Structure 1
């Protein structure tokens, strides 16, 4: 699959954003700190607020969002030089197409344009394709948070990574 474009989402994209976000939470609950149930209960206005407050990029083809990623900038005066890559998800039909790579590059480009000097992320240690993706883009491991996420009685460790710009 080729022919996708990468673009920043705006308020008019909130419904499409909600759809793909909920799909990601439903298919891969271990990959996100939030849950399908919690986000399905959010109002449409909350999804508008999210795409306005957190720069969110999407891979899109023929009007369909294939993947998304956000960049949450730290708000404190002493931490505003860093951002965190969040809410990364690529639909199964777009995996292997280069969409994930293009989304990560969009976040890094945006971070540079905003004057950030580093982008951080957390990825579960079992998510080998995601770990390889971030490795390709220069994200280095700086720690592991044991049991960072828990689903039922199953714990997942988060690998903490940073990419200096």
Structure 2
């Protein structure tokens, strides 16, 4: 097995000053902020998610709060405002529970370039380490920025799902990526 790549250096705000970002696990009390940010992502970037705005817009806040309590979702805050999210789902089947999936990654457009994505991916990897052996994700094949981020963390391509998502009359191909978390 090749050596694990180092965690990328985290970016500042591009002005020579560090931006204070806090990453933490989201809980039920964060449901309103989480749901607002997720719905914004679904509306602005429908090609980046397997779910749609229409499917989630009427979801009761209590359902979202329950889901946040039951699952690991990392949130990144800046000045108390939620600006990025990323979830981790662990398979439960006996034959697949060695795998986890990163899902629902989204960073507010106004916060891009601040290192939010790096911090979220690092938090999810840290949470997954010791729990799963393989960490999987899918990403729109045209999203070069996200693909580059995942590769910096050591994710490798293992397939391409042609026409994975259908949006209206168009299709989105998704790149399948995996990170080996087994101890070296």
TM-aligned CA deviation for residue 28 of structure 1:
0.2
User: Which residue among 155, 160, 163 is the counterpart of 1:144?
Assistant: 160
1:53: Cα distance to partner? 2.1
Task: Name segments (4+ residues, structure 1) moved above 3 Å.
Answer: none
TM-superposed deviation, 1:125: 0.4
CA distance in 2, matches of 1:160, 1:50: 25
The count of aligned residue pairs is 164
Secondary structure in structure 2 of the residue aligned to 1:96: coil
Q: Where in structure 2 are the equivalents of 1:40-119 lying within 5 Å?
A: 40-113=57-130, 115-119=131-135
2:23 aligned with 1:6, yes or no? yes
Aligned residue for 2:129, secondary structure, equals helix
Q: Give the TM-score taking structure 2 as reference length.
A: 0.87
Q: Deviations over 1:27-63 (max 9, x none)?
A: 1000001111110111111111221222000110121
CA distance in 2, matches of 1:131, 1:112: 21
* 1:126 and 2:142 aligned: yes
Unaligned runs of 5+ in 1: none
Taking only aligned residues, the RMSD between alpha carbons, in angstroms, comes to: 0.9
Give the Cα–Cα distance (whole angstroms) in 2 for the partners of residues 131 and 94 of structure 1: 18
Q: How does 1:7-46 map to 2 (within 5 A)?
A: 7-46=24-63
Match of 1:134, SS state, is helix
Give structure 2 stretches of 5+ with no counterpart.
Answer: 1-12, 14-18
